[in-house]
């Protein structure tokens, strides 16, 4: 299981020149975060503008689940001038190109997942924190037949957690 915290303390500062490990194979995995992010965007057919690179460098630095608000706040703390609309538009573009995955687990907040490999999630009901669960850790004995003319496109599982006794 990979803990993918919604906290930003572990994310590297933007533009600090340190090497970042990207979740998917890329020729740019040893480059500084901005260069690696720009290369990853290009690989996915996305033009790497300055703001897109900043957002990608933050989100793709480690496997994590972040909201648009968290990303906007982190970028502004780093000195970037970015609007929430730009962040949302960029995240939707990234999701459309398969770079990230958009999750709606509680109906209140959209989370953006940097891990696009098949997996499920635990969600802490108190904090909202999401943690990745490997597919082999979840077993289904059978699925219902989809309605006529339809096929299963995917399965999303969110296992909600709370502290014992609450």
Q: Cα separation of 146 and 140, whole Å?
A: 15
Contact between residue 72 and residue 78 where contact means Cβ atoms under 8 Å apart: no
What's the average model confidence in pLDDT over 133-153? 94
For 33-46, what is each residue's pLDDT tens digit?
899 999 999 999 99
- Write down the mean pLDDT value for the chain: 82
To the question of domain 1-117 being in CATH 3.40.50.720, the answer is no
Closest CA to 100 of 60, 52, 140: 60
Least confident of 19-23, 76-80, 129-133: 19-23
Query: Which of 102 and 6 is assigned the larger pLDDT?
Result: 102
Q: How many C-beta neighbours within 10 Å does residue 62 have?
A: 19
* Cβ neighbours for 152, distance < 8 A, ≥ 6 positions apart: 143, 146
Phi, psi of 165 (to 5 degrees): 85, 0
Furthest C-alpha separation in the chain:
54
Contacts of 25 (CB under 8 A, 6+ apart): none
With 70 as the cut, is the pLDDT of residue 128 above it? yes
Which strand (E) or helix (H) includes residue 50?
Answer: helix 50-59
Residue with the bigger pLDDT between 157 and 23: it is: 157
The residue ranges of every structural domain in the chain are 1-117, 120-161
Nearest CA-CA partner of 46 in 97, 88, 89, 86: 97
User: 6-10, 17-21, 129-133: which has the minimum mean pLDDT?
Assistant: 17-21
């Amino acid at each position: 299981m990979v803990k993918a915290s919604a906290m930003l303390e572990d994310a590297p500062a933007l533009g600090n020149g340190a090497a970042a490990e990207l979740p998917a194979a890329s020729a740019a995995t040893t480059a500084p975060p901005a260069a690696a992010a720009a290369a990853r965007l290009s690989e996915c057919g996305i033009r790497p503008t300055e703001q897109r690179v900043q957002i990608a460098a933050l989100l793709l630095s480690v496997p994590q689940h972040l909201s648009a608000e968290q990303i906007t706040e982190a970028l502004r703390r780093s000195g970037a001038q970015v609007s929430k609309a730009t962040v949302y538009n960029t995240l939707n573009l990234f999701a459309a190109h398969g770079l990230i995955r958009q999750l709606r687990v509680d109906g209140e907040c959209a989370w953006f997942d940097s891990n696009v490999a098949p997996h499920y999630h635990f969600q802490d009901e108190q904090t909202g924190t999401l943690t990745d669960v490997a597919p082999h850790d979840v077993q289904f004995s059978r699925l219902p037949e989809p309605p006529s003319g339809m096929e299963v496109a995917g399965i999303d599982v969110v296992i909600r957690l709370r502290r014992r006794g609450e």
